[in-house]
Amino acid sequence: MRLRIFRALVGAGPIGMTPGALSTTLDVPASTLSFRLKELMHADLVSQEREGRSLIYRASMTQMNELLAYLTAHCCHGAACINR
C-alpha cells in the first residue's frame, strides 16, 4: 500500500494530491491512507503542506533520489552485479 501511495504521489509531481484524491484514485479507506501517509512522512519520503483548508501531500523527490543512490551504491554488497 505504501508503494502504491508513493507511486501516485510521484506521478502527481510537484502539484501533489489531497488525501481525498489519493483515497479515490487508489480506492483506499481514509483511515488506512492516513496511517500509511504518516509512515511515509516519518521516512521523509512524503511531505505535507496545508493550502487553505486542504492538506497536500507530495513525494520527496530529493529523498527518493538519495535512497536510490544509496541502494545502487550498496547493491550486491559491493560486488559486481550480474544482469539477468
CATH number attached to the domain at 2-72: 1.10.10.10
Condensed to tens digits (0 to 9), the pLDDT of residues 12-71 reads 999 999 999 999 999 999 999 999 999 999 999 999 999 999 999 999 999 999 988 888
Buried b / exposed e over 46-67, threshold 16 CB at 10 Å, is: beeeeeeeeebbbbbeeebeee
- Is there a contact between 21 and 28 (Cβ–Cβ < 8 Å)? no
Residue 67's pLDDT is what?
A: 86
pLDDT reading at 84 higher than 60: no
Three-class SS of residue 59?
A: strand
Higher pLDDT, 83 or 11: 11
Closest CA to 9 of 49, 62, 56, 72: 56
In the chain, the largest separation of any two C-alpha atoms, in whole Å, equals: 51
